[in-house]
Every structure is written in structure tokens, then in C-alpha cells.
A = this chain, B = another copy of it.
Amino acid sequence: MQTAARISNGTSLACDRCALGASGDCPATSQFQGLQLRRVSAKQISAGAEIFPSNETPTTVAIIQSGWAIQYARLLGGERQILTFLIPGDVFDQDAVILPQTPNLFAFKALTEAAVCHFAIEDYRQLFQADVRSRRFAKRQLRRHQALMAKHVIDIGRRRALGRLAGFLLELRQRLTERNLMHDELMPFPLRQEDVADALGLTHAHVNRTLKHLRESGAIQTLPGILRILDPAALAALAPGEALLV
């Protein structure tokens, strides 16, 4: 895990070669089973760059085509709390859909090189009034985000390090599976241990020790930029009830 292999290298901005589109997960492609939208813009973002600063009022809704990003808050002491991880196919900045002209509370930043496409808020909002598939898509995105926030509270509120990490890995596994990014229990894992720590409310030193524990117990295997889940059942046992939440 020393260095993150640039897995998401082939960042294709063109919609006709977009992996998301191919699986029908982006309303800008003809494969999407519903209302077709046209994207306003597509941006290539380098690792570590801000996507949206906080306190800015968004005019678009964004979908992340490739790469990983975070939504986070920074405290006065400099500490960082990561609220959500964003993976390819995630729609973020969704508040804008429901609450136009309200500033973002928290900032977004790319963790890896990433490609982000934007839709006009008005266009995206039409999904909610369109056919069943469009509505299902938009509602699912919204609902998923809310559920993840709640799960996050439960995770860090009621579980200790081992359970948090196990639950977190299972969550990623589930989400990546839905986006066709899991193969043979192998997942791209571009996160530094400090990122995981800042999300789960731990220190990076302790994340390291906990990962070591999971590794030595045979539950997972780590390679640079990749994580393999060897024993999903073991992880599930460490995070009881996880399945109900994801």
C-alpha cells in the first residue's frame, strides 16, 4: 500500500467511451434507461485539487466519472473530518437539486486524478418528474447519500476501530460492486491510511495497526493501491448489522 497505483488512468472524458455510460449509470449517455441529459461541462481534475470550496453556491450538479474524491470539513485546529468518499458514478453536490441557491457547507476535493461532469441543476431536477427509471436513478442517488451519512454516524458512534474498519471496507465493497469496479474481491484502494483515519475518527497510526490486525487474521490482503477481501464473512462478523445499513 506504499504507493497508489494509478488505477483510474484511462480517464476518458468522452461520453461514448465512458465506463459509467456503458453500464447505464449516467443520464448523459444513450445507454441510460430514462431521460437523456446533456452535460454542461467535463473537467479533468488533478489529485489533491479542490473541486468545490465550501461556502460557494453551486450552479450545477456533478457526477464523478472516474477517480475518487471526498467531501470534508476542516476544523479550526487543522483537523480534517471526511464526511463521505465519492467513487465513480456518485452524484454529489446534490443539495443544489433540492435547495437551489444555498451555499455548500463543506468542501469537495479530489483524492486521485479524477474526471467530473456537470449538469445544469434545472436539467437534473427534471429527472424527478420524468419516467420511472429516471426517477429511480435520481432518488436512489439522493437516498444513498443520506443513508451513508446516517451509517457513518452509527459506525463511528457505536463501533470501535476494528468494527469501524470492517464496516467501512464492506461498505466500499458494496458500493464498488454496484459500479462494476470489484473483480475477484479485488478493489481499487487509492486511500492513504490518513484518509481512512480522518473518515473513521481514528489516528493514522491506529488505522495502520488495525489494518495489520485484519491482514494477519487473514481477512484482507493489501497491495499498493489495491485491497483484496479474503474473508467477507469475517469482516461482517466484526461489524454486526452492517448489511442492514448498506
Contact = CB atoms under 8 A, between A and B. Distances in A.
Contacts of A198: 157
A23 interface: no
Contact of A150 (B83, B99, B102, B158): B83
A229 interface: no
Which secondary structure characterizes the binding site on chain A?
A: helix
B200 A240 contact: no
Q: Which interface class (under 10, 10 to 19, 20 to 34, 35 or more) fits A?
A: 20 to 34
B76 A153 contact: no
Interface stretch (A1-9, A11-19, A42-50, A140-148): A140-148
Given A98-B142, A139-B99, A143-B99, A150 B106 contact: yes
A241 interface: yes
A24 interface: no
A75 B241 contact: yes
Interface string A144-164: 001101101110111000000
